[in-house]
Amino acid sequence: MPVPSPRLRILIVEDDASIREGLDLNLGLEGYETVCAPDGDRAIEAFQRQRPDLVLLDVMLPGRNGFEVLRDLRARRKDVPVILLTARIDEADKVLGLELGADDYVTKPFGLGELRARIRAALRRASIQADGNVGAFGDVEIDRSSHRVRRLGSEVPMTAREFSLLVHFLDHPERVLSREALLRRVWGLEHATLRTVDNFVMRLRSKLEPDPDTPRYFVTVRGVGYRFTPSASPE
């Protein structure tokens, strides 16, 4: 008999018991295995012990807020998708969450249909990132299967979103990619701005370019976007 596939595990971090229990019930009915935590400290414990495939993280938590918890999660693992749940609508908060490594935002109150769709999209992106083999350009090596990037033999820390952007560039070499297109493909055009794209390209340059101030691989095409040139010769 075939061995059944293991269920994907979702960590729900939410201090409101009614929301937490509702998500637990509904995501369980969807076929996910769920783990719940009412605060940041227990969330970190569950994250280490249960090794979830995705995290739903409330921003307004007692004690450490969701941003602080997110920073801690990303220090431990960078490949697990994190979707922030928030009643806040301030753009600065959304940008902060994305900069800290969140993969998506869902604003309360939200519909379960929307949330399920965002969960599936985040898991699909993570699966794409984990599939494939090793690529390289210049003195950089990218192992998609292990979600690792090395430069000159040393591992380069990457958030899930940085890795997703890098993989998108790898899959479209020598093509001019508009910032709008990058938003659609990497961020899904949700809760991000063109400036967010610029910031993430700058982060890739700072980590992977020999001289970030004179980029060789992630080249700006003025008025349009960016072009990835893996064939650029190292000096």
Mean pLDDT of the 81-85 span: 92
Q: What is the pLDDT of residue 6?
A: 63
Local structure of residue 7 (DSSP, 8 states) = P
Residue 184 CA from chain centroid, whole number:
14
Q: What is the pLDDT of residue 122?
A: 82
Q: What is the pLDDT of residues 105-141, one digit of tens each?
A: 888 888 999 899 889 888 876 765 555 566 788 889 8
Q: What is the pLDDT of residues 19-74, one digit of tens each?
A: 999 999 999 999 999 999 999 999 999 999 999 999 999 999 999 999 999 999 98
Confidence check: pLDDT of 166 > 90: yes
Task: Give me the residue spans of the domains in the chain.
Answer: 9-129, 134-228
- Domain 134-228 classification at class level: mainly alpha
Asked if 9-129 and 134-228 have one fold, the answer is no
Q: Is 56:12 a contact under the CB 8 Å cutoff?
A: yes
pTM of the predicted model over 0.75: no
CATH, domain 9-129, list 1.10.3720.10, 3.40.50.2300, 1.10.1040.10, 3.40.50.150: 3.40.50.2300
Give how far Cα 144 sits from Cα of 31, 43, 201, 204, 225, Å: 27, 27, 19, 16, 25
